[in-house]
Structure formats: C-alpha cells, structure tokens
Structure 1
C-alpha cells in the first residue's frame, strides 16, 4: 500500500496536544493530510509546529471538545482553511480520577460525560454532514476497554466510554447511505499524558516490569501503536469496517480472569 493514504485529505484530531492524539496527528500529516489539531491545552501548538517543521500542513486551535460552540468553530475553520473535511478523530477525553461510585460527585460525573461522550456526539453531529458532502470518509472515536466491561476505569470514565461505543454503532446506522463510516477505538493501558502518573509511580517503586502484566503481551502500549490503528480505521484500507469497537489492548479483553499457563510450560 502507498505511504500517502491521506494525500489531499483534511483531518481534524481533537486531544492532540499529547498522547494518542498527537501521535495520530503526526502520522496523518506524514501520510499527506492537512491536519487541524485541537486541545484545551495550548501546547497543541507544538504538535502543529512539529508537523509544519516536517514539511506538512497543520493548524492548531485551543478549544473545549465538549462545548458545542467550540466544535462548530473547529469544523468551520477546517472547512474554511482547507476547503472541506474528510476525517475526524474525536480523541479528546479526561479520566475523572479513580473514585468509586459512592465517592464520585454528580459534578465530576457530568463533566466526564460532557467531554468524553458529548464531545464525540458533537463531532459527529457537526462533522459528518461535511464529510458526506465530500463523498464520504471516516469518523474515529476514542473509547476504551473500560467501556467494554468493568475493571479498567472509574465509574464515570467507564460509563462515558461505554456510551462512546454505542454512539459509534448508532451513528454508523443513522449515516446509512452517506459513505461516512464511524468506529470506536478501545485502547488498553497506554502511556499518555493522562496515564503518565500510573507509569511513573510504578517505575519509581521499582515495579515498571509489572505495567500491563494482566494482558498476554505483558506490557503497556505506546501512543504510536494506538495511532496506527486509528489511522488505519480512518483510511480506505478499512473501507468495509463500520460501527465497530476495536480493542487494542494486548489481548486483555480476550479472556475472563484465569490462572494462565506460561508459554512453553507443560500442563499439569
């Protein structure tokens, strides 16, 4: 396959200041896309600068992905500056901490839903019509393995990501005939700005080798590994993948909890 899958395409990536969003934005640009990178963190400018310095085309915007006015402005700017929209990677999200149900406030729960679930809803609502006008394209939503079943996130985070998975399914159906595909990316434990404290704490405690120990690959993921799947789902190579939740978790979600037999070990 060609290394320029997004030549002459216009792509928006939210949550692009760091982590999966930044890695995906850089990859979209390397493969020919004009990229609008957005984040609430003004350091998203550094992502755009890295793309431009490498000879690509990028525009940075500081905005709230869960605010409808900001999302409308984001879509309008992409269409005005680059004459349309082909791909939208709605990746922005927040963790909401690790409190249990009984220690979680309504305010925190609402804020997590606003960013993690209403944000992707707004991206679809305002982005899909423009993608359809160009003859079709793709929307990728960042969900999580926490949205597949319990045990991988807080109540608010898990509920929001389960909603993202269902939203991808509903949107794929409601966009029937538009040639706009919608899929959800479900990362496992990935080293990003959001999860960095977990990785740092484990390493400082001398337990870095235990990161990701519950999955068969026995490690956490790097942002670039998730970005590779996001860009694949956004590309024509995934032209018949629609309404799916794709787990990228080292095999974590492939099994119920078990006592594993090690590779090469004789069964007893």
Structure 2
C-alpha cells in the first residue's frame, strides 16, 4: 500500500460502518494511526479489521463535551492531530416536510451539522497551533439542491458545505485546510432501506439510474476521496465541496413532491 499518511494521527467519526469504516481502514493502509470513533459496537469490528493499526474511541460526535474530551485525549496520547474526518451522520428517516417536527430537525442538525462544527472548533485549534492539518466533513449531494434527501437532512448538509467554506476562510494563514465530500447514493447502513426495498422488488437495476454511471457507489469510493483530502496530494484544495456521485448532480433529478400536479 501507499504511504500518503505515513505516521500521521487521524480521527474518523461514524467509523462503525459504511464510509467511516472504509475510510478508517484505508487511512490505516496508507500509514496513519487511526482513532475510529462511534457510539455503536460496530467500531470494535472496524478496529479488528484494522489489525492493530486502529484504536477505538466512543464519542457522540454531536455533543460538545464529548468531542472536546476526545480531542484532548488524542492529543494527550499522541501529541497532535493531523487529520479529522467528521463523517458521523444520520438520515433522520424518510419523513416528508409536514411529518417532521422541530425535535426531528434539532437532532438531525445536532449530529449532521453541529458535529462537523465541533470537529473544526476543537481539532482546528490543535492543528492551527501546529500550523498544519486537514479537516474533512461529510456533506451530501442533498446539500447542493433538492431531490436527493429529506428536508432536514438536505438542510443540514447544505449547512456543512457553507460551514467548510466559512471555516476555511476563518482559518486563513493557519495551515489548516477544511473541505467537504458530497457523496451521492452510496450503499451504507443509512441507505440500506432503499437498497432492500429495490432488491425485494427485483429492481436492483434501477439503483443509481439517475446518474450517468447507472449504479450506486461503494463506501471505499468515498474513502478514496477522503484519503486525497487528508493527504498532501490535496495541499492546494481548501474550502471545497468535492462531489463523488457518479455524475448525479450534473443534472436535476425530479424530487418527491408533497402535493400532486396542479390541475391543467
């Protein structure tokens, strides 16, 4: 394997499955010492797959005290943080605009948007002192325009895109880069209901039909983008939302509407 992250300290949240797990393993394969973070037991499996190159930390990525403690502990043990991939997120289910309430929105925003903010706030300060570091946040094509997610989820991911742009500016001259990845339809635990439903109906060929590649993506394809952004190969990439979606966002897919078409 390559050594793009040789000897570096990298934190990955949402590492118990899907994109976070794939990224943790890829970072480790490329020489990083990885702190895999999750609230689920899946993170233990990630560590086992890593063969001793990955350590486990339990943390609620959207809780300020927990993230502050996580960063403090990692710095105490390893002296620095070179990369932080704020990947943890939730879909919040598939409710429509009129079926969600404020508490649904609050929880989705807490995990999906406040979580990346906390990563930037606490890891960014440590990285700025060292004059180097890369922070990556998982956004989504749903944050670019409608048609790829529910209202609260989409709004949270749009917030992540603006957050990395704003943070990159506010961290000017610090040596810290802040970027986002916007995945399209990726086969993960979050999208499992979609994949299961389509497969049960014998219509697996319809997965990813709206993008030019005509297929869904795999977690390792997002992990490769995260590796690029975490490494020095992306040294001049900053404040950017990197879209990895098979071309889905090059067009404007039709979204589900709350009301039918108006009478002609």
Structure 1 runs, 4 residues or longer, greater than 6 Å off: none
Indicate the RMSD between aligned Cα atoms, in angstroms.
1.2
Q: 1:172 aligns with which of 168, 172, 182?
A: 168
Q: Which aligned pairs between 1:105-254 and structure 2 lie closer than 5 A?
A: 105-254=101-250
Q: TM-score, normalised by structure 1?
A: 0.92
Using the alignment, how far apart are the partners of 1:219 and 1:43 within structure 2? Answer: 26
- How many equivalent pairs are there? 254
Secondary structure at the counterpart of residue 162 of structure 2: helix
Change in Cα spacing, 1:188 to 1:257, as seen in structure 2 (3 Å) is: closer
Secondary structure at the counterpart of residue 98 of structure 2: helix
C-alpha contact 1:212 1:219 (8 A) present in aligned 2? yes
Aligned partner of 1:12 in structure 2 is 11
Shift of 1:257: 4.8
C-alpha contact 2:147 2:253 (8 A) present in aligned 1? no
Which has the larger displacement, 129-138 or 202-211? 129-138
C-alpha contact 1:86 1:134 (8 A) present in aligned 2? no
Shift of 1:49: 1.9
C-alpha contact 1:34 1:82 (8 A) present in aligned 2? no
Listed as ranges, the gaps of 5+ residues in structure 1 are 259-268
Which has the larger displacement, 129-138 or 103-112? 129-138
Shift of 1:123: 0.4
Shift of 1:77: 1.7
Using the alignment, how far apart are the partners of 2:4 and 2:163 within structure 1? Answer: 26
Aligned partner of 2:29 in structure 1 is 30
Find out whether 1:83 has 2:79 as its counterpart: yes
Using the alignment, how far apart are the partners of 2:253 and 2:85 within structure 1? Answer: 32
Aligned partner of 2:95 in structure 1 is 99
Aligned partner of 2:68 in structure 1 is 72
Using the alignment, how far apart are the partners of 1:71 and 1:40 within structure 2? Answer: 12
Using the alignment, how far apart are the partners of 2:55 and 2:129 within structure 1? Answer: 22
- Structure 1 residues 226-256: Cα deviation after superposition (integer angstroms, max 9, x where no partner): 1000110111000000001111000011123
Aligned partner of 2:42 in structure 1 is 43
Listed as ranges, the gaps of 5+ residues in structure 2 are 255-264
